[in-house]
Structure 1
Amino acid sequence: MRFLFILFPFILLSLFAARPDAAIPGPVQAAPGATSARIQALLADTLAESLPLVQGQQARGFYRGRAYSPTWCAAYQPSAQGRTALALLTRAEDFGLLPSRYHAGALQALADSLAQPGAPERQPAQLARFDVLLTDGLLTFAVHLRRGQLRAFTPSPLEKAGVPFAPAAWLARALAAPDFARALLQCQPQQREYQQLQQALARWRRQPAGPDAAQRARRARQMALTLERWRWEAIPAADYVLVNLPAYQLEVVRHGRVLQTHRLVIGRPASPTPTLSSRLTSFTVAPEWRVPNSIATKEILPHMQAGTRATSEHNFLVDNNYTLYDANGQRLDPTTVNWQTVSAQHFPYTIRQNAGCENALGNIIFRFANPYSVYLHATFNTSDFQKPYRALGHGCMRMERPMKLAAYLLGPDAARAKLPTEAQCEAAPKPRSYYLRRPVALYVRYATCAVVAGQLRFYADVYRQDERLSQQLFGRGLAPAVSLTPNPQTHHKL
């Protein structure tokens, strides 16, 4: 009996040696097939009772293309690529996002658990949960980087019509790339405004906290809100004209370089300038101003009624170079109208201001297609450009040095077109339109922080949009920094 007891292990070894596909017995381990089966079972749970999947449909498509094999695990541990992916989600705040929305805490707990010796029968379940949860977090992360958190179902301007962003396909391509993290992050807007601000936020978060920790946290949130807006309204063009409303500024950008900067006066909070995307296709020198009905009834009509009551010898319309027209477009003598019977609700007239030194549009206007009837134009009241607070208008944008922009838009045609100087326009105000051979993209955006000439700048939330967006994204906790002073800028070195 003792001889048989000694001989038994050798008999077992000879039996396994006779079978090429056999393995020498060792500690019981989870087979990859068992993990794949667990992954498939988790994804089949369409009610998400087992895992809180956000991108369940995309995750199922992703794993079907991989025959449900584990993606982020190797040798029953998170793989090197899995650790890289988890680290990316853990630092989601560098992109203005919250790690908790991508399962970062649960994933780290699973990774720590897998690193500990445990019951072998639990390994396939833990591996499957880690793998699927990490995939779901990455898919959600990619969608938020591309489209923003609040508009995850709205196509980004970077997406072509009829070709929506497919996060599962994007994730699969990133996996095949030499640098996984770099490839995944390419789904973000690539424009200079977004990229510079995102990098500034990452550096900002790595600076040591001091006595101003609360203020720094508010500034970080302000950057996060601006990044969210840039994802909604990303810029696909390489050459464009950009208006940033809180900065009261227009920039001419060509291949990532700012060629011109112009100060602006924008709409006051009661009549804010809207954000929009359009194209500059033409402009008019020495333009006639067709007064909007709202301005005619709210601002001009009271002057006409007051003048009638006072039996003034002066006529407000004539004194300000306005012309009155009836509903059929026929010119009217304003003294023949009983202005006391006219009201804002019953105003069957249109008013135009002729070209000239007192014209509200100045000596040039840039009209562009938009549903708000706003445009860029000059002004003869240039003193407003020296004020730090310039939300003073009705909604249109008054522009400093507009002829410089006109010359840029004409490009090589500027000399041949004989663009008049501002002095010539004032001396002989004759309307003339110029049409661009190459239209230029125009974007009006709302960004309360930006990197300008290598310096991080914060602007006052002039329309209080950050306040509303912060509540939508982060609740009523830490509010963004709000400046109540008229100074619109705060500068920080990077």
Structure 2
Amino acid sequence: MTSRIRSLLNSPATGQALPLALADGATVRAFYVRRSYSAAWCAGTGAKGQAALALLAQAGDYGLVPARYHVPQLRALADSLAQPADAVGQVARLARFEVLLTDGVVQFALHLRRGQLHAFTPSPLEKTGAPFVPAVWVARALAAPGFAAALLRCQPPQREYRELQQALARWRRQPAGRNPSAHNRRTQQMALTLERWRWQAIPESEYVLVNLPAYRLEVVRKGQVRLSQRIIIGRPGQPTPTLNSRLTSFTIAPEWNVPRSVAVRHILPYLKVNARYSPEQDFLANNNYRLFDAQDRPVNPASVNWQAITAQNFPYTIRQSPGCGNLLGNIIFRFPNPYGLYLSDAPEPKRFARPYRALEEGCMNLERPVHLAAYLLGPDSTSAALPTEAQCEANPQPRTIFLKRPLPLHVRYATCAVEAGRLRFYPDVYGQDATLRRQLLNMHKAPQRSMQASLKQHRSKAANGANGTAFAGQRD
């Protein structure tokens, strides 16, 4: 058996009766080199081999495709191994089963950890200098008392992934009902979301999570949701990006530095129209805005020829003072990010009642920002004396509070989730599921084309009298 495995891994593919078409031949070869080419799955009763094949056959429960892990070929080989055969043929089939199974399990572990599209990008769960090595993980799982449970521990541990994966396994066992295509679409939606969670796993036990398609912010601690509230996100034309950051402070009664893009697109047109009317019709003053030049000096809006100002030559900065009408509301949570994003109060609370809440220009509005501030402060919230909304509006004095215990912030895109034990589906508000679906479909087609080409080459050689012995029970 040992010599057969060595020969199978070190012989040129062209010399094999049927090519193995391994996903990662180098890794499989290194796996067996460390074992001196001894069998990992077929020794003794082969119980671990059976457990591994059963696990690969259930890859759909994890949002993966069994065929990517050689399940059809492995089942065919397992069937042939149950048939009477000469000793040489039996050993040859065992060796093929052994090597194919290792390749399938190694790939399965890699995809569980990092996802399929980002298989070569370290997961956030991996510490610097200690990358995930799937072959080593498989070897450790083989040495563990329960192989399947040990292997599956490479998955993201956070509740969002874990609960959705369990929900997918249950969903796949439910009858499809009268609309099988709708049932399959939901199955695929869960698989896509699990793929994203593998790229963007959350390593912390306490964190703030924003799920954009759900229009919801949650604070999670030790697998439990401690706080949840509705949010408003960026519209599809200016989508809120996914990111990782930390909440370190927040500002009460903030001043708003109006982004230049907002100033020229939304405020400049009002200023041009306003210039035609009497000085009493001061749009900036009426909305608590102040105008500054490039040297940060105050400018009287009445002194500006607004008809000569365009979006291209706009030289001013606009700020909105704290208080009533401020578009940041009464509180803002700023956090490090390259997009200029923040979490803030909402100027129009009624918008939270809408089912569709992709209404902002990238930033996110909170339904109850003071509740989040109180949670972040913890026991310090009393001593910090957080004001009520009415107090903020009555006495708008800017004040920044720094957190003694900053919390990680993760913004994610998950079009399905388990909420309070119930599986929920959300609209693909930014069309990201559709894009990911196409990417995965193209990825799955590539190995199939490669295998078909190899089989075509093999049949051509056989038709021309090429040497080679077909294994009994092997299916093309």
Could you tell me how far 1:312 is from its partner in structure 2?
A: 6.4
Counterpart mapping for 1:84-123 below 5 A? 84-123=51-90
Q: Following the alignment from structure 1 to structure 2, what is the Cα–Cα distance between the partners of residues 46 and 293? A: 63
Could you tell me how far 1:474 is from its partner in structure 2?
A: 2.5
Q: Following the alignment from structure 1 to structure 2, what is the Cα–Cα distance between the partners of residues 215 and 475? A: 22
Could you tell me how far 1:44 is from its partner in structure 2?
A: 2.2
Within the candidate set 252, 265, 272, 2:239 is matched to 272
Alignment correspondent of 1:36: 2
Is residue 430 from structure 1 mapped to residue 407 from structure 2 by the alignment? no
Q: Following the alignment from structure 1 to structure 2, what is the Cα–Cα distance between the partners of residues 47 and 230? A: 36
State the 4+ residue runs in structure 1 displaced beyond 3 angstroms. Answer: 45-50, 309-313
**Once structures 1 and 2 are overlaid, which stretch shifts more, 306-315 or 141-150?**
306-315
Alignment correspondent of 2:43: 74
Q: Following the alignment from structure 1 to structure 2, what is the Cα–Cα distance between the partners of residues 160 and 233? A: 14
Within the candidate set 109, 114, 127, 1:147 is matched to 114
Alignment correspondent of 2:34: 65
Could you tell me how far 1:119 is from its partner in structure 2?
A: 2.8
Could you tell me how far 1:340 is from its partner in structure 2?
A: 1.6
AA of the residue aligned to 1:324: L
Q: Following the alignment from structure 1 to structure 2, what is the Cα–Cα distance between the partners of residues 74 and 176? A: 14
1:159-203 CA distance string (max 9 Å, x none):
111211100110011011111000100000010000000000000
AA of the residue aligned to 2:99: V
1:428-460 CA distance string (max 9 Å, x none):
000000000011011110100000001000001
Counterpart mapping for 1:154-233 below 5 A? 154-233=121-200
Q: Following the alignment from structure 1 to structure 2, what is the Cα–Cα distance between the partners of residues 269 and 47? A: 49
Alignment correspondent of 2:362: 395
Q: Following the alignment from structure 1 to structure 2, what is the Cα–Cα distance between the partners of residues 177 and 476? A: 33
Indicate the SS of the match to 1:272.
coil
Q: Following the alignment from structure 2 to structure 1, what is the Cα–Cα distance between the partners of residues 24 and 315? A: 56
AA of the residue aligned to 2:257: R
Indicate the SS of the match to 2:38.
coil
Contact 2:279 2:302 in 1 (8 A): no
Q: 1:310 to 1:47 in 2, by over 3 A?
A: farther
Equivalenced residue count is 441
Q: Following the alignment from structure 2 to structure 1, what is the Cα–Cα distance between the partners of residues 13 and 351? A: 60
Alignment correspondent of 1:412: 379
AA of the residue aligned to 1:386: A
Contact 2:172 2:187 in 1 (8 A): yes
AA of the residue aligned to 2:9: L
Alignment correspondent of 1:31: none
Alignment correspondent of 1:238: 205
Could you tell me how far 1:123 is from its partner in structure 2?
A: 1.9
AA of the residue aligned to 1:251: E
- When Rg is computed on C-alpha atoms for both structures, the one with the higher figure is 1
Q: Following the alignment from structure 1 to structure 2, what is the Cα–Cα distance between the partners of residues 305 and 47? A: 74
AA of the residue aligned to 2:251: T
Where relative contact order (Cα < 8 A, 6+ residues apart) is larger, the structure is 2
1:133-168 CA distance string (max 9 Å, x none):
100001100110001000001111101112111001
Unaligned runs of 5+ residues in structure 2 are: 445-476
Q: Supply the RMSD in Å over aligned alpha carbons.
A: 1.6
**Once structures 1 and 2 are overlaid, which stretch shifts more, 446-455 or 60-69?**
60-69
Is residue 137 from structure 1 mapped to residue 81 from structure 2 by the alignment? no
Could you tell me how far 1:345 is from its partner in structure 2?
A: 1.7
Q: Following the alignment from structure 1 to structure 2, what is the Cα–Cα distance between the partners of residues 52 and 411? A: 56
AA of the residue aligned to 2:87: P
Could you tell me how far 1:47 is from its partner in structure 2?
A: 6.3
Indicate the SS of the match to 2:275.
helix
Q: 1:313 to 1:126 in 2, by over 3 A?
A: same
Q: Following the alignment from structure 1 to structure 2, what is the Cα–Cα distance between the partners of residues 126 and 339? A: 83
Indicate the SS of the match to 2:247.
strand
Contact 2:123 2:201 in 1 (8 A): yes
Could you state the TM-score of these two structures normalised by the residue count of structure 2? 0.90
Q: Following the alignment from structure 1 to structure 2, what is the Cα–Cα distance between the partners of residues 475 and 64? A: 33
Q: Following the alignment from structure 1 to structure 2, what is the Cα–Cα distance between the partners of residues 47 and 283? A: 62
Could you tell me how far 1:313 is from its partner in structure 2?
A: 3.8
Within the candidate set 351, 358, 376, 2:318 is matched to 351
- Tell me the percent identity: 61
Could you tell me how far 1:374 is from its partner in structure 2?
A: 0.6
Could you tell me how far 1:42 is from its partner in structure 2?
A: 2.4
Unaligned runs of 5+ residues in structure 1 are: 1-34, 478-494
Within the candidate set 189, 202, 214, 1:247 is matched to 214
Indicate the SS of the match to 2:119.
coil
Counterpart mapping for 1:440-459 below 5 A? 440-459=407-426
Contact 1:238 1:255 in 2 (8 A): yes
Could you state the TM-score of these two structures normalised by the residue count of structure 1? 0.87
Counterpart mapping for 1:280-295 below 5 A? 280-295=247-262
AA of the residue aligned to 2:124: P
Indicate the SS of the match to 1:441.
strand
Is residue 53 from structure 1 mapped to residue 22 from structure 2 by the alignment? yes
Contact 2:240 2:362 in 1 (8 A): yes
Q: Following the alignment from structure 1 to structure 2, what is the Cα–Cα distance between the partners of residues 264 and 170? A: 40
